[in-house]
């Protein structure tokens, strides 16, 4: 069972599974021929992205929410998760859309509800510690965050990832199977989980020619692009019509729809650029291409001051998607070079769902930054002093998350996956 919202496997690969699984163990299986081995680079990239997300949230509570570091991280940190999913989704044989949606719902929506309930509990605990009282408005907001799937804090990502990935997968299913044979040929594939049920995926073979997108992919991508380009205008008009100008359940649901369309567009872009990076990464062209990608990902957000924060995907969505794709290309090459020497990134990538759901909603970021500020003082401006405090706080947060991820996976697995049915 999948425990990370973006698996290190060939998305939907038809695998015949055998053997038993237990916490921290391996679910053995076969896909085609050969033993499955885990792809390392998706974990490494997700690890880098989740550390960037934590850094962004530290910037938000530090008193310097607008700074060059935040701007660059925000331009790609969340988008990279969608790129990885699209890159893996295009590989291998595909199940039915219904089977994919069922599997993804169990893997993503279940943790959304469990961690949402825990987030409400932490809010209540903090409120009680500060001598506050629960109001009807607070309960209403809590319930809306859960049942409209708009999410509280960083938890918005999980429903959006679910709907976006299912929509993108359905669009990709419209490709002609005969034509896709010219695309990726995989070596060994499998089904990965967070660490307990870890069926594992292998290295891909030759990629072949770029597969031409089908009409459904193009339509979904254009819909997502339109959602990104006109979200403010569409949102304002729709809320005014549906809710009479108020901010209620209808506006929450509409926000989830808009975000999901945008996510589907980014996932499809990942499916399109993945074969291109496969041909470049690890070759003589890899390093020059990575330097160029890094420059593009750095310059575009700095010039146009745009990012992926909340619902506002930017006034220039095409440029933003180019910037995010460039950042993804840079990270692909970085993973190729560094995955063997920076296992901590791989670890946090494997547990990125847990880090995503706990670092902000469990007040780890706030507590750590408060401690750092109390010891070192609040930085007067954005400069070396602030960066040193920021790095210290980021290191402390990740040091707390490191054992926390393992504890939750081993001892509180019900937060991550549905209880397994007992066989008679």
CB-count exposure of residue 206 (10 Å: 0-12, 13-18, 19+): exposed
Least confident segment among 22-36, 54-68, 213-227: 22-36
Report residue 408's pLDDT band, with 50, 70 and 90 as the boundaries. Answer: very high
Question: Hey, is 118 helix, strand or coil?
Answer: helix
Q: Which of 58-62, 100-104, 181-185, 277-281 has the lowest mean pLDDT?
A: 181-185
Average pLDDT rounded to a whole number, residues 173-181? 60
- Read off the pLDDT of each residue in 103-117 and give the average, rounded to a whole number: 93
Q: How confident is the model at residue 299 (pLDDT cuts 50, 70, 90)?
A: confident
Residue 67 has pLDDT above 90, yes or no: no
Confidence at residue 92, expressed as pLDDT on a 0 to 100 scale: 66
Residue bearing the bigger pLDDT, 384 or 346: 346
Position with higher pLDDT, 95 vs 287 = 287
Assign 27 a pLDDT band (cuts: 50, 70, 90).
very low
Q: Which residues of 159-176 are buried (b: 16+ CB within 10 A; e: fewer)?
A: bbbbbbbbbbbbbbbebe
Averaged pLDDT of the chain: 77
- Residue 178, SS3? helix
> 382 φ, ψ to 5°?
-80, 115
Predicted confidence band of residue 375 (pLDDT cuts 50, 70, 90): confident
More confident residue, 95 or 67: 95
| CA-to-CA separations, 323 to 214, 218, 259, 304, in angstroms, rounded | 24, 20, 19, 11
pTM score: 0.82
| 111-146 tens-digit pLDDT | 999 999 999 999 888 888 888 788 888 888 889 889
């Amino acid at each position: 069972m999948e425990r990370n919202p973006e698996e290190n496997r060939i998305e939907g690969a038809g695998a015949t599974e055998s053997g038993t699984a237990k916490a921290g163990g391996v679910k053995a299986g076969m896909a085609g021929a050969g033993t499955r081995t885990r792809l390392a680079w998706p974990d490494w990239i997700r690890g880098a992205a989740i550390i960037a997300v934590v850094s962004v949230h530290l910037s938000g509570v530090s008193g310097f929410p607008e700074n060059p570091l935040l701007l660059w991280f925000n331009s790609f940190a969340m988008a990279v998760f969608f790129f990885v999913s699209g890159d893996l989704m295009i590989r291998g044989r595909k199940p039915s859309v219904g089977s994919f949606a069922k599997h993804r719902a169990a893997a993503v929506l279940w943790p959304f509800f469990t961690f949402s309930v825990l987030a409400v509990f932490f809010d209540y605990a903090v409120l009680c510690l500060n001598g506050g009282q629960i109001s009807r408005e607070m309960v209403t907001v809590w319930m809306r965050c859960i049942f409209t799937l708009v999410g509280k804090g960083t938890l918005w990502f999980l429903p959006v990832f679910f709907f976006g990935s299912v929509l993108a997968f359905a669009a990709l299913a419209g490709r002609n199977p005969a034509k896709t044979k010219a695309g990726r040929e995989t070596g060994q594939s499998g089904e990965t989980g967070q660490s307990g049920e870890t069926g594992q995926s292998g290295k891909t073979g030759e990629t072949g020619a770029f597969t031409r997108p089908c009409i459904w992919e193009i339509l979904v991508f254009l819909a997502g692009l339109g959602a990104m380009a006109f979200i403010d205008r569409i949102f304002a008009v729709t809320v005014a019509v549906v809710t009479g100008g108020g901010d209620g359940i209808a506006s929450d649901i509409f926000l989830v729809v808009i975000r999901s369309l945008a996510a589907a567009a980014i996932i499809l872009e990942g499916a399109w650029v993945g074969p291109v990076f496969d041909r470049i990464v690890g070759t003589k062209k890899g390093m020059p291409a990575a330097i160029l990608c890094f420059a593009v990902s750095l310059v575009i957000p700095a010039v146009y001051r745009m990012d992926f924060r909340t619902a506002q995907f930017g006034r220039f969505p095409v440029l933003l998607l180019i910037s995010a794709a460039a950042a993804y290309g840079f990270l692909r090459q970085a993973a190729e070079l560094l995955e063997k020497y920076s296992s901590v990134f791989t670890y946090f990538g494997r547990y990125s769902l847990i880090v995503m759901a706990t670092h902000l909603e469990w007040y780890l970021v706030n507590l750590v930054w408060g401690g750092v500020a109390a010891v070192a003082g609040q930085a007067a401006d954005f400069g070396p002093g602030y960066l040193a405090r920021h790095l210290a706080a980021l290191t402390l947060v990740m040091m707390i998350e490191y054992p926390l991820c393992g504890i939750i996976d081993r001892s509180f697995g019900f937060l991550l996956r549905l209880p397994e049915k007992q066989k008679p």
